[in-house]
Amino acid sequence: MSRTTGDRRAEIIQAAVEVIAERGYRGASLGAVAERVGLTQQGLLHYFPTKEALLVAVLAARDQWDVASTALHGTTWPLEMLTSLVEYNATRPGIVQTFTVLAGDSVTEDHPARAYFEERYRWVRAGAADMLRAEFGDRLPGGLTPERAAPLLVAVMDGLQVQWLLDPGAVDMAAAFRDFVALLGAPGNA
């Protein structure tokens, strides 16, 4: 039975996730991913023309996996679910490192992942605002609207990832995020 292009791409993405988990972002080569799925590097380039294109596909798949559970909780995650996601990210440093490096690199005008990150941050901020509104209403305890607080929430998550990657022994990402959520105040007390 032959594989469809979509099936083959999914297999390559899964292999890339495994290679990144084992070797980190810099150590994850196209050759290693190709070998894992039984392709030559040239064969892999048929599906993903650059390493950046493959890594963006890995991050897009990660986003799909991470938000798949929203169906279990309605359309908006509760804030405690976001805390669980931060805890889960602490178990997959290779993926977090890939995200962080590509996000940083994508700020340049011609980076192949720029459009992905622009779109991603739009829907992440919108989702964060919806989550905050569901938890706190139209005003958080400190007076901010959910739309004003959403970029701050995302910045805390991403900033903690950078600090944790640089010094995992000194920064407990999950505990620090729980501390930040506590600073927001109790839901319903706006």
25: nearest Cα among 79, 83, 105? 105
pLDDT, average across residues 97-115: 88
Tokens of 122: 């739009």
CA dihedral over 94, 18, 72, 74, signed as positive or negative: positive
pTM of the model: 0.79
Which of the two residues, 187 and 153, has the higher pLDDT score?
Answer: 153
pLDDT, average across residues 42-70: 81
102: nearest Cα among 74, 63, 46? 63
Q: Reply yes or no on whether the pLDDT at 186 is more than 70.
A: no
Q: Reply yes or no on whether the pLDDT at 2 is more than 70.
A: no
74: nearest Cα among 153, 149, 130? 130
pLDDT, average across residues 27-38: 92
